[in-house]
Amino acid sequence: MALEIKGERIYSKEEEETAKKEIWKYILGFVPIAAVKCAIELGIPDILENHETPMTLAELTSKLGCNESLLYRIMRFLIHYKIFQEKPISETLVGYTQTPLSRLLTRQGENSMADMVLLLNSPFILAPWHKLSAWLLGNKVFPFEAAHDGKDFWGFIAANPNHGKLFNDGMACDARVAVAAVVEGCSEVFEGLKTVVDVGGGDGTALRAIVKAFPWIKGINYDLPHVVSMAPAFPGVEHVGGNMFDDVPKADAVYLMKVLHDWRDEECIEILKKCREAIPHDTGKVIIVESIVEQKEDHEFKEVGLMLDMLMMAQTCNGKERTLEEWSYVFREAGFTRHTVKHIQTYHSIIEVYP
């Protein structure tokens, strides 16, 4: 029955037919992700990457030592989704090869996003989503805490080093792509800086790329002690353990990438005040790399920002992706006087904030 208001149809027949197809995206939305995760865990993108010619089903089966007919069905599905593709080997034989998408799913490689797929689809990250509606309806316990025996995200990570490694690896692959876009698209941001402290810098991936691109910069990678203790050494980068709510090492500029979105406004203001104390009042700045939601001009990564906002809702204690107005508020409250925004080729923007 078509929906009618005062005898008038409010949706066309065509819209209703489209909805009947679209609904399956939500009913079975997890299936492509699960199949991609399976392919990464089996190492299929890496095997195809390292094979010079397209690989037949028999070759791939033998390399993996798996069941041929199950593998065939996984590959048929992923080819439909253009994750992999088929190429003719001879008149009668076809083989599987990579696509630009599956090349992002190899475990190695500077643009790899495989660890991010594994992180965001791991059981400990999926569990809080099931607690979201209860939280919206007034449950006082945050979704992450409800799913993890009362521990918040950082407490849980500290207590579970294996999950910590999964988290740091996932963050690192996103950081590689983001910082490459910063360095490529906005190198002027680093002009004149001799020292940069990356607050919440994780395993130092971003800072490694920054000092590699601008070798005169001395980098301080600042994160919680258990995080920096696992960070690899790199020339030009010093790892310092500490708590950004207590203090921040002094430098010409603070770099803050995907840190503030984890926190509510009051906590962001506290962190930013510590950052302001760490930089010179007259020449210093804080370089924030985060997404900005509800931007006026349409952004090709707009959907990613909105999805990350949902992620922050499920995983953090009142963290969120912010509009420019919401960003301006926390900067002002932390005592900063002005900021500028630059867009780069990822879902992030660069916001330079000045005392």
Ligand X SMILES: C[S@@+](CC[C@H](N)C(=O)[O-])C[C@H]1O[C@@H](n2cnc3c(N)ncnc32)[C@H](O)[C@@H]1O
Q: Which residues are catalytic?
A: 261
Q: Following CA atoms 91, 93, 99, 105 in sequence, which dihedral angle do they give, to the nearest 10 degrees?
A: -170
Of 258, 320, 322, 348, which one interacts with ligand X (CB under 6 A)?
Answer: 258
DSSP-assigned beta bridge partners for residue 181: none
- The CA angle 92-96-100, to the nearest 5 degrees, is 140
Contact 261, 320 (CB under 8 A): yes
Of 227, 312, 313, 330, which one interacts with ligand X (CB under 6 A)?
Answer: 227
d(C-alpha 327, C-alpha 304), whole Å: 18
d(C-alpha 328, C-alpha 324), whole Å: 6
Q: DSSP character for 187?
A: G
- Beta carbon nearer to ligand X, 48 or 330: 330
Q: Interface with ligand X includes 45 (CB under 6 A)? A: no
Of 169, 223, 290, 321, which one interacts with ligand X (CB under 6 A)?
Answer: 223
Of 129, 154, 234, 354, which one interacts with ligand X (CB under 6 A)?
Answer: 154
Query: Which of these ranges, 13-21, 44-52, 208-216, 237-245, lies near ligand X under the rule CB under 6 A?
Result: 237-245
For the CB of residue 310, give the shortest distance to ligand X in the complex, in Å. 15
d(C-alpha 225, C-alpha 239), whole Å: 9
DSSP-assigned beta bridge partners for residue 8: 5
Please state, as a whole number, how many other Cβ atoms lie within 10 Å of the Cβ of residue 300. 9
Taken in order 108, 235, 272, 291, is the CA torsion positive or negative? negative
Q: Interface with ligand X includes 180 (CB under 6 A)? A: no
Q: Interface with ligand X includes 170 (CB under 6 A)? A: no
For the CB of residue 71, give the shortest distance to ligand X in the complex, in Å. 34
Q: Interface with ligand X includes 243 (CB under 6 A)? A: yes
For the CB of residue 147, give the shortest distance to ligand X in the complex, in Å. 18
Taken in order 182, 183, 189, 193, is the CA torsion positive or negative? positive
Query: Which of these ranges, 111-119, 134-142, 229-237, 243-251, lies near ligand X under the rule CB under 6 A?
Result: 243-251
For the CB of residue 35, give the shortest distance to ligand X in the complex, in Å. 27
DSSP-assigned beta bridge partners for residue 354: 338
d(C-alpha 200, C-alpha 12), whole Å: 51
For the CB of residue 243, give the shortest distance to ligand X in the complex, in Å. 4
d(C-alpha 230, C-alpha 168), whole Å: 10
Of 64, 94, 224, 304, which one interacts with ligand X (CB under 6 A)?
Answer: 224
For the CB of residue 139, give the shortest distance to ligand X in the complex, in Å. 24
Q: Interface with ligand X includes 200 (CB under 6 A)? A: yes
Of 183, 231, 244, 260, which one interacts with ligand X (CB under 6 A)?
Answer: 244
H-helix or E-strand spanning residue 256:
strand 253-257
Tokens of 291: 């997404």
Q: Tokens 């599956």, residue?
A: 102
Report how many residues bind ligand X under the rule CB under 6 A: 18
- Beta carbon nearer to ligand X, 154 or 329: 154
Query: Which of these ranges, 42-50, 54-62, 200-208, 319-327, lies near ligand X under the rule CB under 6 A?
Result: 200-208
H-helix or E-strand spanning residue 232:
none
Query: Which of these ranges, 85-93, 135-143, 195-203, 327-335, lies near ligand X under the rule CB under 6 A?
Result: 195-203
Of 182, 259, 308, 351, which one interacts with ligand X (CB under 6 A)?
Answer: 259
Tokens of 39: 């392919």
Query: Which of these ranges, 29-37, 87-95, 130-138, 220-228, lies near ligand X under the rule CB under 6 A?
Result: 220-228
Tokens of 101: 């998408």
Q: Tokens 């349409």, residue?
A: 298
Residues that bind ligand X (CB under 6 A): 154, 171, 174-175, 200-202, 206, 223-224, 227, 243-245, 257-259, 262
